Every structure is written in structure tokens, then in C-alpha cells.
Amino acid sequence: MQRRRSSTPPRPQKPTVEPVALVLKITLRGLRPPVWRRVRVAGDTTLRMLHHVIQAAMGWHDSHLHEFEIGNRRYGEPDDDPWPGAERIYSETKVKLGTLIGQGVKQFRYVYDFGDDWEHQIVVEKVEPLDPEQEYPSLITGKRACPPEDCGGIYGYLHLLEVLADPSHEEHAELSEWVDGTLDPEHFDSEATSQELARLAGRRPRRR
């Protein structure tokens, strides 16, 4: 009698994840009308790279600390010697946006400058197929100027705008000199912003 050969069932294959691109809306919270940017990034963008994208898109100078808050976790640059009982900071270099989207994350928070406390809301508006001919990251559109660094957060910025709008204010001359007379809260320089994001795109390996 001929024995039947036993066949080993094939191992289940992991589902193939197609490369994707994400459309993100970045909004600086606390201002009306809002300051916001809409950008397109690749799904393999890490949180560390997204930090640079936000800095370039908004117009910040990357002169202060930052962190992401996603769910109940904080991501940034982990402290090598944290205080006892301090909340853990997870590494932002090890987390990709595509992974977060796969876990159901649709929005999260980014905070820049723990003194001025600039809080940004990041919303995933769209998931698209990755276009090998498209540069990532890239600017789609945006509105209004980024506040100056070190102006004192939302309330400091509102005070600055109030003073600049009133030539009779006792601080008008001093603060006009501080901003070099160039602050227009309604102006968004899309060309300069696109160039900054293109510079970041030049650092990113292109898919073939």
C-alpha cells in the first residue's frame, strides 16, 4: 500500500502593505482665524522627519524642544537620564506615519517650545497611493503667517498684533523694531515654504 505523503499547510502570508502617501492638515491651535498648512508626505515618514516637515511648513526655526502626543504616549527625544517617576518619552525616530495610520490613528498633537507652548493639531485628511514621480514632502496650500519665535505663545502673539496695530501704543516702536517691521499676520509665503519642503524632499531617498 502506497503511503500518502503528508503535506505541510502553507504558512499564512502577511498582507502586503502598498506604499501610501498621506495628506495632512497642520493647524496651530488657539488662534482665530487659524494658521494652518496642508502638506503631502510619504507613509514611511518617521515622526522625526515629520517634526522637520512641520517646522518647515509652519515657518518655525527649530530652536526649541518639541514632542508628539499620540493616544496616551509621548514621542520625542528620550531622556538618557530621566527623573524618577517621569513620564516615558518614546523615540520619534522609530515610528512611521504609515504604521500609525494602520493602527487607526487619524489625528494627534505636536507641541513646539515648551515655554511658549505652540500646540499643533495634525489631522490625516486623506490616504493616497504613493506616486513615484511626486516629491515628498510637498506643500499643497496654507493660510496666514507663522507667529515669531519667542513672542510669548498665543497670548504674547495676540498682544504683539494689538501693539503693532496701534501706533500710539507705548510699546509700538520697540516691538516694531523687534519684528523688523515685517510682520503681516495674513501673509503666507507659499513659494518660500515650498522651497523649504523641497529641500527636505531632497534628503529623502527616491523610490524606484
pLDDT at 26 over 50: yes
Determine the average pLDDT of the residues in 186-193: 96
pLDDT at 179 over 50: yes
Q: Could you tell me the pTM of the whole model?
A: 0.86
Q: Which residues contact 108 (CB under 8 A, 6 or more apart)?
A: 68, 69, 70, 71, 100, 122
Residue whose cell numbers read 514632502: 137
Nearest Cα neighbor of 187 from 48, 42, 52, 35 is 35
Helix or strand run (H / E) with residue 120: strand 118-129
Tens digits of per-residue pLDDT, 60-80?
A: 999 999 999 999 899 998 876
Domains and CATH numbers, the chain: 20-144+188-203 (3.10.290.30), 146-186 (no CATH)
Q: Which residues contact 202 (CB under 8 A, 6 or more apart)?
A: none
Judge contact between 89 and 79, C-beta under 8 A: yes
C-alpha 78/C-alpha 103 separation (Å) is 23
